[in-house]
Amino acid sequence: MDEDARRSRRRRLRRFSVFVGAPFLGLASVLVAIAWGAAPGRWWPVAGFLLLWALAGAYTWVAGIALRRRMTRLRQAPVPRGVRLATPLWIKVDRLLTMLGLAAVLGTVVAALGFPGIAVGVLLVLGGFLVVAGVAGNFSITGIQALTFEEGGVRFHLRAWAYFVPWTAIGDIRCIGPDHFEMVQVAIADLDAAGVAVSPDTPESREAARSRFSQGHVLFEPWTAGLDGGTLARAFADGKAGTPSEVN
């Protein structure tokens, strides 16, 4: 086993210990304490937060295994052209539960200190924020909900409109971050000179496109369009280079 594989295994074991093993062990301990006569009004909220922590951790642990397998499979296959590629629901749920799991960790600590009301308030505020973020941006930092790689360029699908950017407008492609959480930065040429097509073609949508690409690049978070960072970068590089790809 090489050093990278050992580090990856240690990282997975630490993640399992913190997000799965610890909350289940803590939940069992709290339930035993309640059964032995510990004040239920004090400890049931703690048990509730531990249960949320444990369930969220178990899901993200299993999802992490599925994501690693998906990454291996994607990197051995061509990215299809002409197909609208969106992030699968189970990956979106993984993002949601990752954030809720972190809130549950904080809620557990606060509730155990004797402030369950504050812990519930924090969870409700975060939950409301996540619901609004999910409705508005589909849990995407950029708001991009899907990508379609075509022979002439790439189409960015957002909630209300889509932008078609020709390959000639695509600049440098750069991967940022570790392999398991790799973001991709793609440079975009000036819209007015690049021949970007907007649908529907209205002044509002064109202004939105100009604002979207005003910094000259787009930063994609991991698993945008259901692709890991390395595969996403390869899809852009192959399209820019004119490399033939699978067409579905």
Per-position pLDDT tens, the chain of length 248: 566 667 777 777 777 887 788 888 988 988 898 889 878 777 888 898 899 999 999 999 999 999 999 999 999 899 999 999 999 989 988 888 888 888 888 888 888 888 878 777 777 777 666 655 554 445 566 678 899 999 999 999 987 788 898 998 898 999 998 877 899 999 987 655 556 778 888 888 777 777 777 777 888 988 999 999 999 999 999 999 877 655 44
What's the pLDDT score for residue 245? Answer: 56
Kindly tell me the burial class for residue 79, based on how many C-beta atoms sit within 10 Å of its own C-beta (0-12, 13-18, 19 or more). buried
Domain parsing of the chain, residue ranges: 3-137, 146-241
What's the pLDDT score for residue 239? Answer: 92
What's the pLDDT score for residue 247? Answer: 40
What is the DSSP secondary-structure string of the chain? --HHHHHHHHHHHHHHIIIIIHHHHHHHHHHHHHHTT--HHHHHHHHHHHHHHHHHHHHHHHHHHHHHHHHHHHTTSPPPBS-EEE--HHHHHHHHHHHHHHHHHHHHHHHHTT-HHHHHHHHHHHHHHHHHHHHHHTT-SS---EEEE-SSEEEEE-SS-EEEEEGGGEEEEEEES-GGG-EEEEEE--HHHHT-EEES--HHHHHHHHHHTTTSEEEEPTTGGG--HHHHHHHHHHHHHT----B-
What's the pLDDT score for residue 79? Answer: 92
